[in-house]
Copies of this chain bind each other. A is one copy, B any other.
Amino acid sequence: MLMDANSTTEAMASPISRRSLHEELAARLRDMIVEGALPAGRKVPERELCETFGVSRTPLREALKVLASEGLVTLNQNRGACVTALTRADLEEVFPIMGALEALSGSLACARMSDAEIEAVAALHDQMVRSFEAGDRPTYFKLNQAIHRAILLGSGNATLGATHQMLAGRIHRARYMANDDAARWRAAIEEHEHILAALQSRNGPRLAAILSDHLRNKLASVMRHFTED
């Protein structure tokens, strides 16, 4: 068995705590699912993944249990794991929750973020607008996420960030779909202008309301691509 590869990536990463195998596997699988390398509904045979990653079944199974508790995969008794398929109902459930969480984060962020941190968000916003004007959707998407994430973290509530991220992971694929028509994309940009304005003026209730609406609109946009479901 060629198991020596794990010691190679140890220098740069976190200095003291090197992640355990099941953690590493969970992260890798999470990425694969979120990025669509493992399509929804697909069966995830243990043997195959073990060979792919070159590990035994024990840590892989531990990782699958974690992903199941995150809702990314579904375990069927004696029948293995499947990538959880997103239904319209799932999206309709998750988006409002994320809206509520982001609203809370915005409210808190207005009170707690430093001026410098808000300026950093403004910088991200400007970059995002530029990538919109350039029609560069991947960069736009990345910056968009970075802004929302910055506000989440700016709330100073780590649990809020973690809860949000867990839900975001489930619907990540779907969120790629949003803004694929020009009108909605433009509207999203406008909403983000309001988001930034509310944050800069530290108007918590207003930012909360805008973020909630923003998520509601995102849902509506995404849902148009689920008509065939």
Contacts and interface: CB of A to CB of B under 8 A. Distances in A.
A22 B100 contact: no
A49 interface: no
Give the secondary structure class of A's interface: helix
Interface centre among A20, A68, A75, A96 (most CB of B within 10 A): A96
A146 interface: no
Interface in A53-76: 58, 61-63, 65-66, 68-70, 75
Contacts of A100: 100-101, 103-104
Nearest to A66: B69
Interface centre among A22, A62, A68, A103 (most CB of B within 10 A): A62
A40 interface: no
Interface size class of A (residues with CB under 8 A): 20 to 34
A167 interface: yes
A130 to B, nearest CB: 33
A6 interface: no
B62 A93 contact: no
The oligomer's copy count stands at: 2
Given A77-B17, A159-B90, A22 B96 contact: no
Interface in A67-99: 68-70, 75, 77, 90, 93-94, 96-97, 99
Contacts of A18: 77
Nearest to A58: B58
7 contacts: A61-B62, A62-B65, A66-B66, A90-B159, A96-B157, A97-B157, A100-B100
A97 B104 contact: yes
Question: Which 9 A-B pairs give the minimum distances between C-beta atoms?
Answer: A93-B159, A100-B104, A66-B69, A100-B100, A62-B65, A93-B157, A69-B69, A65-B66, A65-B65
Nearest to A63: B65
Nearest to A62: B65
Contacts of A159: 90, 93-94, 97, 167
Interface in A122-164: 157-160, 163
